[in-house]
Amino acid sequence: MSNTLHPALALRRRLPNRWDLFAMVCVFGALIGVAHVARGTLVPLNGPSATAISLDPAGLPVYAARTTLRMFAALLASLLFTFTYATAAAKSRRAGLILVPILDILQSVPILGFLTFTVVFFMNLFPGRVMGLELAAIFAIFTSQAWNMAFSLYQSLKTVPSDLEEASFSFHLTGWQRFWRLEVPFAIPGLVWNTMMSMSGGWFFVTAAEAISVGDNTWKLPGIGSYVALALEQRDIAAVLYAILAMLLVIIAYDQLLFRPLVAWSAKFRVETTAGATATDPWMLKLIRRTRLLQFLGDSVGAAFRAVSGFPFSLGLRRRHGDARPPSRLVDAIWVTALAVVLAFTAWEVVSFVATSLTWRDLGIAFVLGLCTLARVAVLMAVASLIWVPIGVWVGLRPVWARRVQPAAQFLAAFPANLLFPPFVIVIVYYHLNVDIWLTPLMVLGTQWYILFNVIAGATAFPGDLREVADNFRVGGWLWWRKVILPGIFPYYVTGAITASGGSWNASIVAEVATWGDTKLTAHGLGAYIAAATDAGDMARVVLGVAVMSAMVVFFNRLLWRPMYAYANRRLTLA
């Protein structure tokens, strides 16, 4: 019996249907909206409406659209950075010696530190145009998104199961083919969840990203972040509530249109030999599958990707352990010496710049304030782990609940700390509470979700056959946690803890100084020190604060998180 379709039926399946019409209207409507909003980036900087902000709620849709476009532009740059930087760090042992510590430092550098040194560069690219400020804002949002995604891909590339690697060698895959057909698919589930977290992280710092300062001049780009900043300055509670509602609607929209289909699609890359629990496909994914034109475009993109990933390139990527030559000690010594020279030169330049206006006493003050912030970060990481690891495991093992929790977690992770300044300031002042204690929760408000999202990703990727083995042997209680699930999610937890720790240091810039109108509360810490130096234009103290913070983050990571990371890698290798 022939399986060929009748020509008329085959033609009907290729022609557009009503779902195609609906999809085309949505796509062209979105493109027209993007073009309309993007026109505001090409106007002169001194134009009457270039950087004007109004608290009229009618302007919030345009503000929300501009903020969302900045965040997605930063997200695309973050993906490009992730697939280049993280891959180089994971594939080259010598490159990893310098790239991983640099990544530790970059994730701890406050967003104000990046803006201080990059705004002039971007503004000189487009003199007198809003586009320069837009690029500076996008770069600032990029710095709140990229590091988390890079750590996620790095962790996945370093923890690919050895049996899958051996299978790739048995099939004689080149390094290029192994990367795109084994390692990237293995990393997809964790990367998707961390991409969601990165979007939320961008919202957390959007207020600082949309306020650009150069010397005595400050510009506020039209967006939800600048709208919130103006509402807080004017103590307009109604405007704050309008901004929260707009942010919630935007998060729900891109969750439904983008991240829910991505999470459902990423489930196909789970590593397991038995059928795991699944949830129904989201409506957007069903719509894409019903539209013939979009399905044709998707199939074309998939075919192109398969063709590119199948190229027999051999790029010198990681080889099988048994075939790899032992590393050259001479080359390692030369490489380490070169890194030490570069590090010493950088430290000397920082010291020379700072020493022109500061003394050893200033270094001591910054160090003590750094210890205060370090104590807050350590306590918050312990508390957040105790709370969110069990919850993340429970949610990740239940796909239906993961879909339900997904938008709520994104919204809570995106909730900027400064939106909670009014109740915190009012309660602290009214009850005469200790500022150093009661401002501390603001530091972990946005960063605790790195732990939750990574644990959910780890539990979601946990092989179903291992769960069945544990059930068959009646392994339960604390034994199940200690021997089954915690070892399985441990690499994901460490990745989340590293990024949460670095993010907490970064958030200290926002959290250790709370303002509501004319009332300003300042806690003792390195974040408040850097914020005060930035406001005063004291570049020497900004550099000193950022240098001390980076040194403490690297020390903390090397003392705690990196040994845990190496332990997780050894366990997976042995398994």
All domains of the chain in start order, with CATH: 44-269+357-574 (1.10.3720.10)
Write down the pLDDT at residue 271. Answer: 66
**Mean pLDDT, 10 residues at a time, the chain of 575 residues:** 50 58 70 69 68 86 90 94 92 82 77 72 82 88 89 87 82 85 89 88 80 71 88 86 90 87 82 56 75 73 74 55 58 74 80 83 93 92 93 88 81 75 81 87 81 88 82 87 88 86 81 79 90 82 87 82 74 53
Write down the pLDDT at residue 468. Answer: 83
493 burial via Cβ count (<10 Å: 0-12, 13-18, 19+): buried
| CA distance readout (Å), 412 to 110, 251, 419, 444, 519 | 21, 10, 12, 12, 26
Q: What is the DSSP string of 397-431?
A: T-HHHHHHHHHHHHHHHH--GGGGHHHHHHHHHHH
Nearest to 450 by CA among 508, 395, 392: 392
Write down the pLDDT at residue 91. Answer: 87
| CA distance readout (Å), 422 to 194, 312, 525, 529 | 30, 59, 21, 22
Strands 519-522 and 217-220: unpaired
Q: What is the DSSP string of 422-433?
A: HHHHHHHHHHT-
At what angle are helices 18-38 and 60-81 packed, to 10 degrees? Answer: 100
CA distance 148 to 155: 11
Contact 106, 143 (CB under 8 A): yes
Range list of β-strands (E), 101-235: 211-214, 217-220
